[in-house]
């Protein structure tokens, strides 16, 4: 579910599109998500199967977006060569084996060097990343924790993708239903029942149209008295099952 949300955010806001891979479809370069104790991805396209390791700390939409930005070729923002003009690195608070993750780059990509430093980037560490003692590892120039965010791509993240991948300057268009409403993935029914049609509509309507339509058809009250029992939603499996319009499972 979180993987679909992250993919949809990139697909909608840029001209880059992550698509499902099918067996024997001729695509030799692809991303495979794996469960691991760490969060990691190589920077840029490596060729062949490229694993994205998702540990518990990054198995969220924001964490997955962070790794997908690496897949697209973008390194950490806090490693920029000019970062000392914007933040302080508190080396004494960093877990020793993680200190290489805080080293500055010697130079920036020519395409990206003119973008402003972006504390709100999805690929910027937060203030307490890899702290050895509970104190901040990154602070602003006044010594206060940074106002980072780890839930979505920043406007600058999106602009960088558009520039690097040659995207036209466009506004996201609403998703268009396929002419023939069919499921293209075997996991569609399960994902639809798990609310993916609500939380990742563009992806699901494109690849799981049939399951989303069936799920929508089920969102009805089967008894006229359902609205009167609204206060009991979530307390009774029978009520939730027979009054799905009054007691929706999937709410944004």
Phi, psi dihedral angles at 99 (to 5 degrees): -60, -35
Name residues whose C-beta falls within 8 Å of residue 163's C-beta, 6 or more positions apart in sequence: 111, 112
Quick one: tokens of 75?
A: 């390194």
Do the beta carbons of residue 8 and residue 152 sit within 8 Å?
no
List 33's β-bridge partners, or say none: 52
Q: Which of 53, 42, 50, 58 lies closest to 18, judged by CA?
A: 50
76 marked as binding residue: yes
Give the number of other Cβ atoms within 10 Å of residue 63's Cβ: 20
28 marked as binding residue: no
In Å, the largest CA–CA distance within the chain is: 69
Name residues whose C-beta falls within 8 Å of residue 175's C-beta, 6 or more positions apart in sequence: 201, 202, 205, 206
How far from chain centre, in Å, is Cα 32?
15
> Any catalytic annotation for residue 108?
no
Instruction: Exactly one of 8, 9, 67, 77 is catalytic; name it.
Output: 67
Q: Residues annotated as binding site for Zn(2+)?
A: 66, 70, 76
Q: Which residues are catalytic?
A: 67
Q: Residues annotated as binding site?
A: 66, 70, 76
């Amino acid at each position: 579910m979180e993987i679909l949300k992250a993919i949809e955010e990139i697909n909608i806001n840029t001209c880059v599109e992550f698509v499902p891979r099918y067996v024997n479809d001729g695509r030799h370069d692809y991303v495979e998500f794996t469960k691991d104790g760490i969060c990691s991805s190589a920077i840029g396209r490596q060729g062949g199967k490229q694993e994205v390791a998702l540990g518990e700390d990054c198995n969220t939409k924001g964490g997955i977006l962070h790794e997908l930005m690496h897949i697209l070729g973008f390194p950490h923002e806090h490693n920029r060569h000019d970062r000392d003009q914007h933040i302080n690195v508190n080396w004494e608070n960093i877990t020793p084996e993680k200190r290489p993750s805080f080293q500055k780059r010697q130079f920036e990509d020519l395409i990206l060097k003119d973008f402003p430093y972006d504390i709100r980037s999805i690929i910027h560490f937060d203030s307490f990343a890899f702290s050895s003692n509970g104190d901040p590892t990154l602070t602003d120039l006044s010594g206060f924790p940074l106002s980072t965010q780890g839930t979505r791509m920043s406007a600058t993240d999106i602009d960088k993708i558009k520039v690097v991948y040659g995207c036209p300057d466009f506004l996201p268009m609403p998703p268009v239903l396929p002419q023939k409403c069919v499921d293209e993935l075997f996991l569609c029914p399960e994902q639809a029942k798990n609310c993916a049609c609500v939380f990742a509509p563009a992806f699901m309507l494109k690849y799981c149209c049939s399951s989303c339509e069936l799920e929508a058809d089920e969102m009805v009250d089967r008894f006229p008295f359902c609205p009167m029992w609204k206060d009991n939603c979530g307390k009774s499996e029978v009520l939730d099952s027979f009054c799905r319009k009054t007691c929706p499972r999937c709410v944004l």
